[in-house]
Amino acid sequence: MNPKVLILRTAGTNCDYETDYAFQLAGAETALIHISQLIAGKTELNEYQIMAIPGGFSYGDDIAAGILLANEMKHKLADRLTEFVDSGKLIIGICNGFQVLVRSGLLPRLDSEIEQQTTLAMNTSAKFECRWVHLETQESPCVFTRDLKSHVYLPVAHAEGRFTAPDGVLNSIESNKQVVFRYVSADGESPEYPDDPNGSDRHIAGICDATGRIFGMMPHPERFLTRFNHPRWTREKIPDEGDGLAIFRNAVDYARQSS
């Protein structure tokens, strides 16, 4: 039986169909579920093996990006989310979804408490950044990036993508190997703008929790699934499979083996 993936959506979500398609390509059974259905108990979270929080502008990113959806999750679904994670299941948050995971306290989750320890602030360029970036895959326990190639190429599209935290929190994330991706230049060197599009502390583009089962990243893997998504596919010899698909396949394979 194929693993079941819940694609969480709400007002302002706009990457749900791409994320849904990515998981279907990876071999999962998917469902697009509005958060109100979860809160009302019309959909049971524990019936799924993976939850994905897609990109977009949930609730118009009023107050701060992702914070209203994060508060709904934290104050209305905390017990169910804790049970979901503690039972060994997976959560991925992409772009706005990463902002939600950070602001809800599900990432980096350095202790058992669900409380905010980091944030995603306004880009240092003070503007919306929409471009393709190079990422270096870090050694981490992240389920989603197992055996992923060392460098990947993915698009970003965000205004509040600057990952930042106090030095103590950053040091803990580093020592726990919870950094999953860093921005790098095209030649793999330490980046400057625009290679690092937002000025993140230590060039961090994605992190996981200590178990590797909760994962958040600012770039969009669901936007590079096949060669036809690549900006230079007509001019360069690009592999048929895009760099992003392996992230979804890893999650589906893990869920299938764990069930």
Domain extent for 212: 4-258
Spell out a b/e string for 118-148, using b for 16 or more CB atoms within 10 Å of the CB, else e: bbbbbbeeeeebeebbbbbbbebbbbbbbeb
| CATH number of the CATH domain containing 82 | 3.40.50.880
SS (H, E, C) 50-74: EEEECCECHHHHCCCCCHHHHHHHH
Catalytically active residues, by annotation: 95, 220, 222
Q: How far apart are CA 210 and CA 128, in angstroms?
A: 31
CA-angle at 118, arms to 112 and 119, nearest 5°: 135
Closest residue by Cα to residue 53 from 110, 121, 6, 2: 6
Cβ–Cβ < 8 Å for 54, 7: yes
Domain count, the chain: 1
Identify the sign of the CA torsion 246, 110, 122, 63: positive
Structure tokens at 137: 């895959």
Type of residue found at 127:
K
Element (H, E) at 25: helix 16-25
- Where would I find the beta strands (DSSP E) of 103-233? 119-121, 129-137, 151-158, 162-164, 179-184, 204-208, 214-217
pLDDT tens track, the chain, 259 positions = 899 999 999 999 999 999 999 999 999 999 999 999 999 999 999 999 999 999 999 999 988 999 999 999 999 999 999 999 999 999 999 999 999 999 999 999 988 677 899 999 999 999 999 999 999 999 999 999 999 999 999 999 999 999 999 999 999 999 999 999 999 999 989 999 999 999 999 999 999 999 999 999 999 999 999 999 999 999 999 999 999 999 999 999 999 998 7
